[in-house]
Amino acid sequence: MIKGVIFDVDGVLLDSMPVWENLGELYLKSQGREGKPGLREILFPMSLEQAADYLIREYDLPKTAVRVVEEVNGMIRTFYAEKAELKPGVRRYLEQFRKAGIPMAVATSSGRENVEAAFRRLSVLDLFQDILTCSEVGQGKNHPKIYLEAAEKIGTRPEETWVFEDTCHALLTAKRAGFRTVAVYDRASRKDLDTLKSEADIFLTEYGDVELFLQQASAR
């Protein structure tokens, strides 16, 4: 049964994970510096403020951490407003769900301003009943609050609501809260591919035949 859908954004609706993976290198390049091997792995667990301090120290940047954070955020805003694209096949899924009367919401760790800018440019913003962000909800995706609130917004129960995610921790959070889950393949999560395949109700390597997906979801 499928009465509602909740989508993650980065790596699920938008092909945006490469900019997050390479943000440190891209920023350094804009400053005339070249990132050293392993930079991505070093920066991954850091907050933006911690990463700014690290880049200033290791690459001798003549800037304050506040300035670096402002410039990096500016790069992110520009990417969403001007460059981020839907993953192939996403538009067809969204339009078919809308046609079938299935309400949709977004649950994202990204900022509302960036998501809305991308969706508005891509002409999909009006397809969603609501957008919920982790910062506004007050919990990350290791807690089910964002999914439960999204389901409330679209008026569906967890067991009849399908959550599309590309990362293990988020998908497992939704699953443990009683939601049906769809794992969407993204290059950034390839190391967790086996877990995603085994834990999700449905695994999508790509957004292919939407009618087949609806049949599979309705049969569960």
Per-10-residue mean pLDDT for the chain, 220 residues long?
Answer: 95 90 92 93 82 94 94 93 96 97 95 95 98 91 96 97 96 98 91 93 95 89
User: Are residues 150 and 78 part of one domain?
Assistant: no
> Is 173 in contact with 6 (CB distance < 8 Å)?
no
For 53-68, the pLDDT digits (tens) are: 999 999 999 999 999 9
User: Are residues 11 and 28 part of one domain?
Assistant: no
> Is 168 in contact with 196 (CB distance < 8 Å)?
yes
- Per-residue model confidence (pLDDT) at position 219: 84
- Per-residue model confidence (pLDDT) at position 135: 86
- Which range of residues forms the domain containing residue 23? 18-82
User: Are residues 203 and 137 part of one domain?
Assistant: yes
- Per-residue model confidence (pLDDT) at position 78: 93
User: Are residues 211 and 103 part of one domain?
Assistant: yes
For 142-155, the pLDDT digits (tens) are: 999 999 999 999 99
Q: What is the CATH number of the domain that holds 90?
A: 3.40.50.1000
Tell me how many domains the chain contains. 2
User: Are residues 184 and 126 part of one domain?
Assistant: yes
CA 123 from centre of chain: 18
CA distance 218 to 47: 40
User: Are residues 147 and 196 part of one domain?
Assistant: yes
Domain C-terminal end among 82, 103, 118:
82
- Dihedral angle of Cα 102, 108, 114, 117, to the nearest 10 degrees: 0
Average pLDDT of the chain, as a whole number: 94
User: Are residues 136 and 213 part of one domain?
Assistant: yes
User: Are residues 141 and 34 part of one domain?
Assistant: no
Q: Residue 118: CB partners within 8 Å, gap ≥ 6? A: 14, 16, 80, 81, 84
User: Are residues 185 and 142 part of one domain?
Assistant: yes
User: Are residues 36 and 145 part of one domain?
Assistant: no
